[in-house]
């Protein structure tokens, strides 16, 4: 590794220490394991009898966000997509590390807003900053979060453990995030502004289903979160578990806003089922779990909706209103 004259070597940066002390160290409040970001690493004790769950996501300006959004929203969505992965494993969030690469244009105002978003979500989800790294870049803002959670030993929900005969459920409503993005791109006409705003909010600020995920440990047979789209993510369960998944499009729970969009333009069904950015959970459970699932829905306040069944075979089938298979292509869906 050869440095150029004038380039800094590995982890140093003028002003980095001050920036960390001013903006990031306060995010460790209440989490002694962060050592105030003043040591070489974070140190914390996992709860005895628990497994550690670790997930990480990176987002890049102009690829994953435009760059003119409020910095607080960028921060919160990044944290929440990681929390959604913890939710899908049934884990309780503990702490996270943050890696930031900032170009010179990032000023203290942007940074303060970014940190305020993290602060808000740390309070909401009971998680604290454990450590991180802050570096310069000549390129776009690049942000990574690695989130740590805990789950009772051996109890983590997996994608690979669905069985034929299990029923398929989803939390909340499906399609709002993708429709929200579509609306923000100006590709939904004539929707009531308050409904359009509701969809946009689902896209901008997903709601990780942490309570439901934890409650589903020992009840669900398999789970994942819906980030790539319901069909694709259910496909991960089907492929990982070596089974087929069959869902009824009519049973997929929709918000009022999504129903309004779909009523005006039935081709939006593809966006709803394949668009992604839902950050709901899709999971399987044996038929005998029905009473426990009703109790979990009641306790967590999160709707759990039966949408299909696991069968022997491979792949994902989506049945339409008349029982026919729907097939989705990039530019629309068609009956086959």
Q: Rule CB under 8 A: which of 24-63 touch a second copy?
A: 35, 38-46, 48, 51-60, 62-63
271 binds a second copy, rule: CB under 8 A: no
Please list every residue from 273 through 332 that binds a second copy, using CB under 8 A: 276-277
Out of 37, 86, 212, 220, point to the residue binding a second copy (CB under 8 A): 86
Distance in Å, CB of 229 to a second copy, minimum = 9
225 binds a second copy, rule: CB under 8 A: yes
Stretch that binds a second copy, among 73-81, 248-256, 296-304, 323-331 (CB under 8 A): 73-81
What tokens appear for 262 in the block?
């779909």
Pick 91 or 195: Cβ nearer a second copy: 91
Overall size of the chain counted in residues: 336
Stretch that binds a second copy, among 64-72, 252-260, 299-307, 326-334 (CB under 8 A): 64-72
Pick 8 or 298: Cβ nearer a second copy: 8
What tokens appear for 77 in the block?
């969505």
**Residues paired with residue 335 on neighbouring β-strands, in sequence order:** 326
What tokens appear for 130 in the block?
């454990």
Pairwise CA distance, residues 38 & 57, whole Å: 24
Owner of token pair 């005895």: 48
Q: What element of type H or E holds 335?
A: strand 332-335
Distance in Å, CB of 227 to a second copy, minimum = 6
Strand-by-strand arrangement of the 167-171 sheet? 222-225, 281-285, 167-171, 304-311, 244-248, 316-319, 325-329, 332-335
Pick 200 or 257: Cβ nearer a second copy: 200
Pick 218 or 287: Cβ nearer a second copy: 218
Residues that contact a second copy, how many (by CB under 8 A): 88
Stretch that binds a second copy, among 1-9, 189-197, 245-253, 326-334 (CB under 8 A): 1-9
Pick 244 or 290: Cβ nearer a second copy: 244
230: helix, strand or coil: helix
Contact 245, 316 (CB under 8 A): yes
Of the chain, the end-to-end C-alpha distance in Å amounts to 56
Q: What element of type H or E holds 134?
A: strand 128-136
Please list every residue from 150 through 209 that binds a second copy, using CB under 8 A: 151, 153, 156, 158-160, 178, 181, 184-185, 187, 203-204
89: helix, strand or coil: coil
Pairwise CA distance, residues 101 & 138, whole Å: 9
Please list every residue from 124 through 153 that binds a second copy, using CB under 8 A: 130-133, 135-140, 142, 144, 146, 148-149, 151, 153
Distance in Å, CB of 206 to a second copy, minimum = 9
Q: How far is CA 135 from each of CA 11, 99, 103, 146, 147, rounded to the nearest angstrom?
A: 7, 8, 9, 17, 20
Please list every residue from 92 through 131 that binds a second copy, using CB under 8 A: 97, 99-101, 130-131
Stretch that binds a second copy, among 10-18, 21-29, 121-129, 327-335 (CB under 8 A): 10-18
Pick 66 or 295: Cβ nearer a second copy: 66
Distance in Å, CB of 69 to a second copy, minimum = 5
Distance in Å, CB of 327 to a second copy, minimum = 20
Q: How far is CA 130 from each of CA 58, 147, 196, rounded to the nearest angstrom?
A: 17, 9, 37
Pairwise CA distance, residues 78 & 190, whole Å: 31
Phi, psi at residue 45, to the nearest 5°? -100, 115
Pairwise CA distance, residues 336 & 328, whole Å: 10
Distance in Å, CB of 201 to a second copy, minimum = 11
Pick 158 or 317: Cβ nearer a second copy: 158
Pairwise CA distance, residues 273 & 267, whole Å: 11
């Amino acid at each position: 590794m050869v440095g150029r004259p004038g380039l800094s070597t590995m982890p140093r940066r003028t002003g980095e220490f001050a920036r960390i002390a001013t903006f990031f160290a306060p995010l460790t409040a209440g989490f002694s394991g962060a050592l105030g970001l003043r040591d070489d690493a974070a140190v914390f004790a996992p709860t005895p009898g628990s497994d550690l769950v670790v997930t990480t996501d990176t987002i890049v300006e102009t690829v994953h966000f435009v760059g003119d959004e409020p910095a607080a929203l960028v921060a919160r969505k990044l944290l929440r997509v990681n929390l959604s992965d913890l939710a899908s494993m049934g884990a309780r969030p503990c702490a996270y590390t943050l890696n930031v690469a900032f170009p010179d244009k990032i000023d203290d105002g942007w940074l303060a807003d970014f940190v305020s978003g993290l602060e808000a979500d740390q309070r909401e989800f009971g998680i604290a900053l454990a450590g991180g790294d802050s570096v310069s870049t000549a390129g776009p803002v690049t942000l990574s979060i690695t989130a740590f959670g805990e789950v009772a030993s051996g109890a983590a929900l997996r994608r690979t453990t669905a069985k034929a005969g299990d029923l398929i459920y989803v939390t909340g409503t499906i399609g709002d995030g993708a429709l929200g993005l579509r609306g923000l791109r100006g590709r939904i006409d004539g929707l009531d502004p308050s409904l359009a705003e509701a969809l946009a909010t689902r896209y901008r600020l997903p709601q990780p289903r942490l309570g439901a995920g934890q409650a589903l440990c020992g009840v669900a047979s398999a789970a994942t979160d819906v980030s790539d789209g319901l069909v694709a993510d259910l496909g991960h369960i089907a492929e990982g578990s070596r089974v087929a998944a069959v869902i009824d499009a009519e049973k997929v729970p929709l918000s009022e806003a999504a129903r309004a969009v779909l009523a005006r333009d039935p081709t939006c069904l593809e966006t709803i089922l394949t668009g992604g950015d839902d950050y709901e959970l899709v999971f399987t459970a044996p038929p005998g779990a029905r009473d426990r699932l009703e109790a979990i829905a009641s306790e967590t306040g999160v709707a759990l909706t039966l949408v299909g069944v696991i069968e022997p075979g491979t792949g994902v089938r989506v049945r339409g209103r008349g029982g026919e298979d729907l097939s989705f292509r990039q530019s629309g869906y068609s009956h086959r």
